[in-house]
């Protein structure tokens, strides 16, 4: 019989991280459960969907060692509603049941035997260390551009490309692309890069949100991320990532610099009167201003003009307002530089004075 004591925040924080993996959508009931195990003076909570697995060390008191699996969602829902100022007592009873008591309340949940719970793979491969800030930055700057349900499964993830002088992290759905660069990693021999699935990317951001350094181990088709309190394993996506460097423009015909926030707000407002079938808006750029406009026969039309900070070249192109807004929302400087070649070639968006972040969006054909 296992007996544990927790502070509410410690237990709830861990359960919320694990929730992204322990979903109720699996055909195997055990995979919507969280494994709680106490042994050797430490408490660990584990969740897996057989693709992504997370193991977290949780602060708490151990009165008696043991293991149990219980619905991650139901346990989190109960813990969330418990009072903040009272300790949570958790104990197993007969038949894999779990009893939670806090203050005057007692809650009993039916669990499943921990023997059925899948083992997380252990990876003893080549390892490298990434600064936590660096890892979070490259993920944040790129993940929005990845495909979410493309049949070309290799697009449903982020590609880490190991170059001699830097590492590039890329996401694309073939209409938009985001690329972030950081220092070169000490990659294993014969590995040019790997694709991390999008579900794992989101779990990495939650799991290592505060980590100063993250250890990364690569082994065949698995990768492991770890710090002193957490371990995350995921299967890598198999497949050849598109040759993204071939679509990066080598030079531009024109360039305009404008306030990112002004353009973002104008895009969101004007898009309200864009065609709901494609959200196409027009950007007309000249040396003095950017005119953002939209019209839909059944709705009406709108336009706004913004002053530019600098500009070389004129252009008018169509663009999906949703993609433009999402791209701008991930640019981390006050001004954005927009580079263009023609109204049919990809438009480049870059933060000003930041060489290590590039976003591309394929323009749309405007009706004359």
CATH topology of domain 126-246: DNA Polymerase III; Chain A, domain 2 (3.10.150)
In this prediction, residue 127 carries a pLDDT of 86
Let me know the angle formed at the C-alpha of 161 by 148 and 358, rounded to the nearest 5 degrees: 70
- CB-CB contact of 231 with 123 (8 Å): no
The domain limits of the chain are: 3-116, 126-246, 249-361
3-116 CATH pick, 1.20.210.10, 1.10.10.10, 3.10.150.10, 3.40.1190.20? 3.10.150.10
CA 240 to chain centre: 21
- CB-CB contact of 162 with 191 (8 Å): yes
What is 8-60 written as a DSSP string? HHHHHHHHHHHHTTS-TT-SSGGGGEEEEEEETTEEEEEEE-SSEEEEEEE--
With a pLDDT cut of 70, the percent of the chain lying above it is 99
Residue 26, pLDDT > 80, answer: no
Between 151 and 312, name the one with better pLDDT. Answer: 312
- CB-CB contact of 111 with 139 (8 Å): no
What is the average pLDDT score of the chain? 94
Do the domains at 126-246 and 249-361 have one common CATH topology? yes
Q: State the Cα–Cα distance between residues 63 and 81, nearest whole angstrom.
A: 24
Reported as a pLDDT band with limits 50, 70 and 90, residue 348 is: very high
Q: State the Cα–Cα distance between residues 193 and 65, nearest whole angstrom.
A: 42
Each residue's pLDDT tens digit, 234-270: 999 999 999 999 999 999 999 999 999 999 999 999 9
Q: Which class does domain 249-361 fall in?
A: alpha beta
Residue 23, pLDDT > 90, answer: no
DSSP 368: -
In this prediction, residue 24 carries a pLDDT of 63
User: To which H or E segment does residue 4 belong?
Assistant: strand 3-6
Q: Please report how the helices 260-270 and 321-329 are oriented relative to each other, as an axis angle in degrees rounded to 10.
A: 150
Each residue's pLDDT tens digit, 102-148: 999 999 999 999 998 999 887 777 788 999 999 999 999 999 999 99
pTM to 2 decimals?
Answer: 0.91
């Amino acid at each position: 019989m296992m007996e544990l004591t927790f502070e509410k925040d410690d237990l709830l924080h861990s359960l919320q991280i694990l929730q992204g993996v322990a979903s109720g959508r699996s055909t195997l009931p055990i995979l919507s459960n969280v494994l709680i195990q106490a042994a050797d003076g430490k408490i660990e909570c584990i969740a897996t969907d057989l693709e992504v697995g997370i193991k977290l060390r949780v602060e708490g008191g151990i009165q008696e060692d043991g293991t149990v699996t219980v619905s991650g969602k139901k346990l989190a829902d109960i813990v969330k509603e418990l009072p903040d100022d009272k300790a949570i007592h958790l104990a197993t009873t007969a038949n894999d049941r779990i009893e939670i008591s806090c203050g005057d309340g007692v809650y009993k949940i039916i669990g499943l035997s921990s023997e059925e719970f899948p083992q997380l793979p252990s990876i003893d491969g080549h390892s490298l260390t990434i600064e936590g800030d660096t890892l979070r930055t490259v993920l944040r700057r790129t993940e929005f551009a990845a495909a979410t349900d493309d049949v070309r499964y290799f697009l449903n993830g982020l590609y880490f490309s190991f170059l001699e002088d830097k590492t590039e992290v890329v996401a694309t759905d073939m209409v938009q692309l985001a690329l972030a660069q950081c220092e070169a990693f000490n990659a294993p021999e014969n590995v040019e890069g790997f694709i991390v699935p999008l579900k794992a990317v989101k779990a990495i951001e939650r799991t290592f949100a505060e980590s100063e350094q993250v250890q990364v181990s690569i082994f065949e088709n698995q990768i492991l991320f770890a710090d002193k309190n957490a371990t995350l394993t995921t299967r890598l996506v198999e497949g050849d990532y598109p040759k993204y460097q071939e679509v990066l423009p080598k030079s531009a015909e024109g360039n305009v610099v404008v306030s990112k926030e002004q353009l973002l707000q104008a895009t969101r407002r004007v898009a309200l009167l864009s065609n709901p079938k494609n959200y196409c808006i027009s950007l007309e750029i000249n040396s003095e201003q950017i005119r953002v406009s939209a019209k839909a026969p059944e709705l009406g039309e709108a336009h706004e003009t913004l002053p530019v900070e600098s500009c070389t070249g004129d252009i008018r192109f169509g663009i999906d307002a949703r993609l433009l807004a999402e791209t701008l929302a991930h640019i981390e400087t006050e001004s954005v530089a927009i580079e263009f070649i023609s109204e049919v070639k990809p438009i480049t968006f870059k933060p000003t004075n930041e060489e290590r972040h590039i976003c591309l969006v394929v323009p749309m054909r405007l009706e004359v």
